[in-house]
Amino acid sequence: MKDPSGRAAIVGIGRTEGPRTPGVNSLQLHAEVARKAILDAGLKLADIDGVLTAGCDEPTYCEEVAHSAVLSEYMGLKPRFTYTIDLGTPVFAKMVEVAATAISAGLCRTVLLACAEPTVSRASRTQAVEKMTAFGHPEFELPYGVSIPAFYALIARRHMHEYGTTGAQMARVAVAMRRHAGLNPWARFRDPITVEDVLASPMIADPLHRLDCSITTDGGAALVVTSLDHARDLPHQPIVYLGAGQGYSHEHLVAAPSLTSFAAVESGRDAFRMAGLKTGDVDIAFLYDNFTIAVISQLEDLGFCGAGEGGAFVEAGHIDLGGRIPVNPNGGLLSEAHPGRPGGIFHLTEAVAQLRGACGERQVRDAETALVHGVGGIMSNHATVILARA
Amino acid sequence: MSATDRPLPTPTGDSEAFWRACKKEMLTAQRCADCGRLQFYPRRYCTSCLSERLEWSTLSGRGKVYSHSTVFRALSPAFQKDIPYIVAVVELAEGLRMMTQIVECAPEAVFVGMPVEVTFDHVSDEIALPKFRRAEAKQP
Ligand SMILES: [Zn+2]
C-alpha cells in the first residue's frame, strides 16, 4: 500500500451556520450538512463511494442498525466502503485519516464523512448539559459526584501545583476564543469578555469558572475527501491530508498515568512524523477547547511550547489571531459551537476554510498548514490530523 | 433509582472482594503474585503482565491529596444537596491513586500534598465508600 500522506485531499465542506437547528432530527441534520458538502465539492451522489459517520444520539436510528448505512440509504448513497466509527469526540480527526487511508489503499475513491446532532433542540438545555457531563467509572468515580468539569478541574489544579499556572492564564484562553468568535457570524457567543469576566463568572468546580467551560449548542458538519488526482479537477483548491496520529493512555481519569501530560504527545508526534513537519511549520492550530486548561495542556503536549509553559504562552497572546500560533480562529467549543460528539468537526471545516483563504475578517494570513487535534474522555483518547493547501 | 439518588457502585466479579473489605473498613487492592505490582481499580488480570494470580492486599489507608476540586455546581441532581463538596485524587502511601471525596474539611483548607487517611461512608447496607479526611502528619 502507498503511503497515504499527500495522496488524498478534502474537497468539500458543509456545516450548520448558527447555534440552533430547530425542527430537524439527527438523521436530517446529518443529511443537510452532507448535501452541502457534496455540492461544495462539485460532486453528485453517484461520485460518493465511501461513507463514514460517528453514530447518533437518537435511539430510533441507532439501535441495532449501522448508522452510516442508515444515512446512506436516506441520502441515496450506495457506498462500497462504509463504517460507523465509535471513538467519542476525537472521531472527526480519525475519520479524515480513515478516509484518506482507504482512498490510498484503493478501497474507494471519494468519501463523505459527517457528524451532527440537534443536541439542544432535541432536549432541554439542562438535559443536554446533563448528558454531556455524565461520565465516569461507574464504581470508582461516579459515586463521588465527579462531574466532567470537576475531572478537568482536577487536571487544572495539578497543573497549577506543578507549574504555577494561574486561573488568569486559563481565563486568557476563553478571552482569546471569544475574541475570535466575535469575527465569526455563526458563533453562539460573540461579545468580548475579559480575564476579569471569566474569573467573576460562577465557580463550577474550583478552579474552573463557568467561562472556562465550553458551551452547548446544536450543530454538525460534513466533509468530502477524495484522491489528490481527482481533487485537482474539482472547483476548490484541494486541502491535502499530510498525516495523522492517535494516542491513548486511559479512559477514566482514575486510571490516568499522569494528570499533566497526556497521549496528545504520541498522537502529535506520529502526525508530525508522517507529515514530515515540525510544530514551527504549522500556521494554525485547532485544539480541543472543551475546557480552557485542555488548550494549555495540548499546547504543551503537541510541542507548541514546553511542559509547564502553556499558561505563560497563552498569556503572551501567542494563540490569538495575529499571534505566534493562532488557535481556533472560529471561536472554538468555548464560544462558537459545541453540540457534543460533533463539536470538533467545526475545527475541521474551519481548517479547510482557512486554508482556502475564505475566512474574511478572521482569516489567518497566508495560512498554508493546519493542525487539528481532538480529545475524547478526560484527556483520554487523542487524534491529530495535519492538513495543507495544495 | 430516581435522578436524585446518588449513584452507588454495583460490585462485579472483579470488585466484590474490594467492596466486602470496605464494608469491614479495610482498604484493599490487588497485588499480582507473578510480577508483584499493585493495581487499582480491580480487574480480572494483571495490567502489567496479564497474570491471573491476583491476591488481595490490605493498604495502609494513608496518603496525600494529589489533586482536588470543590464542586459548586453539581451537574447531576443527585449531588445537588451536597454542594459544595470536595472531590480529589488521593495518592496512597503504596503509590496507587484513587478518585474520592475529602470529608470533614473546609474547601479552603484542602491543599495538594495534604496528608489524608481513609474513612468509610456506609451509604447502603452493602456499600461503604472509601473517602478521606485530613490526617496528622506523622513525625519523621
Ligand atoms: Zn503482573
Q: What is the CATH number of the domain that holds B94?
A: 2.40.50.840
Q: How far apart are CA A117 and CA A25, in angstroms?
A: 8
pLDDT in tens, A54-113: 998 876 666 667 899 999 999 999 999 999 999 999 999 999 999 999 999 999 999 999
Assess whether B81 and B110 both reside in one domain: yes
Which domain covers residue B112, as residue numbers?
Answer: 60-135
Distance in angstroms between the alpha carbons of the first and the last residue of chain A: 22
CA of A256 to the centre of ligand 1 (A): 18
- The string of DSSP letters for A289-331 reads -SBHHHHHHHHHHTTSS-TT-HHHHHHTTTTSTTSSS-B-TT-
pLDDT category at B129 given cuts 50, 70, 90 is very high
Question: What is the average pLDDT value for chain A, to the nearest integer?
Answer: 95
Assess whether B66 and B115 both reside in one domain: yes
Task: Report the domain count for chain B.
Answer: 2
pLDDT category at B75 given cuts 50, 70, 90 is confident
- Of B60, B19, B59, the residue nearest B42 (C-alpha): B19
Residue A183 lies in a domain: no
| A19 has a pLDDT exceeding 80 | yes
Assess whether B40 and B27 both reside in one domain: yes
Residue B4 lies in a domain: no
Assess whether B80 and B96 both reside in one domain: yes
Question: What pLDDT score does A123 carry?
Answer: 78
Assess whether B46 and B67 both reside in one domain: no
pLDDT category at B138 given cuts 50, 70, 90 is low
Mean pLDDT, residues B112-116: 98
Assess whether B83 and B104 both reside in one domain: yes
Cis peptide before B84 (omega within 30 of 0): yes
CB atoms within 10 A of CB A232: 13
Assess whether B100 and B127 both reside in one domain: yes
Residue A220 lies in a domain: yes
Assess whether B83 and B18 both reside in one domain: no
Q: Which long-range contacts (CB under 8 A, 24 or more apart) does A318-322 make?
A: A319/A173, A319/A176, A319/A285, A319/A295, A320/A176, A320/A179, A320/A180, A321/A179, A321/A180, A321/A183, A321/A362, A321/A364
Which domain covers residue A83, as residue numbers?
Answer: 8-122+215-389
CB atoms within 10 A of CB A255: 20
Name residue, grid cell 472543551: A290
Assess whether B65 and B40 both reside in one domain: no
Residue A1 lies in a domain: no
Assess whether B49 and B33 both reside in one domain: yes
Closest Cβ–Cβ partner in A143, A145, A157 for B68: A157
Higher pLDDT, A122 or A70: A70
pLDDT category at A277 given cuts 50, 70, 90 is very high
pLDDT in tens, B5-47: 888 999 999 999 999 999 999 999 999 999 999 999 999 999 9
- Which of B5, B70, B73 is the best substitution to test chain A (most A C-beta atoms within 10 A)? B73
Assess whether B42 and B80 both reside in one domain: no
Write down the number of H helices and E strands in chain A.
14, 11
Assess whether B110 and B84 both reside in one domain: yes
Higher pLDDT, A131 or A314: A314
3-state DSSP assignment of residue A105? coil
Instruction: Inform me whether the C-beta atom of residue B99 falls under 8 Å from chain A C-beta atoms.
Output: yes
Residue A263 lies in a domain: yes
Task: Report the domain count for chain A.
Answer: 1
Residues of A in contact with B8 (CB under 8 A): 143
- Which of B16, B37, B69, B103 is the best substitution to test chain A (most A C-beta atoms within 10 A)? B69
- Which of B71, B83, B92, B124 is the best substitution to test chain A (most A C-beta atoms within 10 A)? B71
Cell of B97: 491513586
Residue A115 lies in a domain: yes
Residue A99 lies in a domain: yes
Residue B53 lies in a domain: yes
Residues of A in contact with B38 (CB under 8 A): none
CATH number reported for the structural domain that contains residue A92 in this entry: 3.40.47.10
Among A18-27, A44-53, A122-131, A317-326, the least confident range: A122-131
Residues of B in contact with A138 (CB under 8 A): 7, 9-10
Instruction: Inform me whether the C-beta atom of residue B70 falls under 8 Å from chain A C-beta atoms.
Output: yes
Name residue, grid cell 464542586: B71
> How many angstroms separate the CA of residue B120 from the nearest CA in chain A?
13
In this structure, chain A runs to a length of 390
Residues of B in contact with A142 (CB under 8 A): 7
Question: What pLDDT score does B76 carry?
Answer: 79
Cell of A363: 482569516
Phi and psi for B23 in degrees, rounded to 5? -55, -35
Question: What pLDDT score does A261 carry?
Answer: 98
Nearest CA in chain A to B40: A255
CB atoms within 10 A of CB A166: 16
Closest Cβ–Cβ partner in A147, A154, A156 for B76: A147
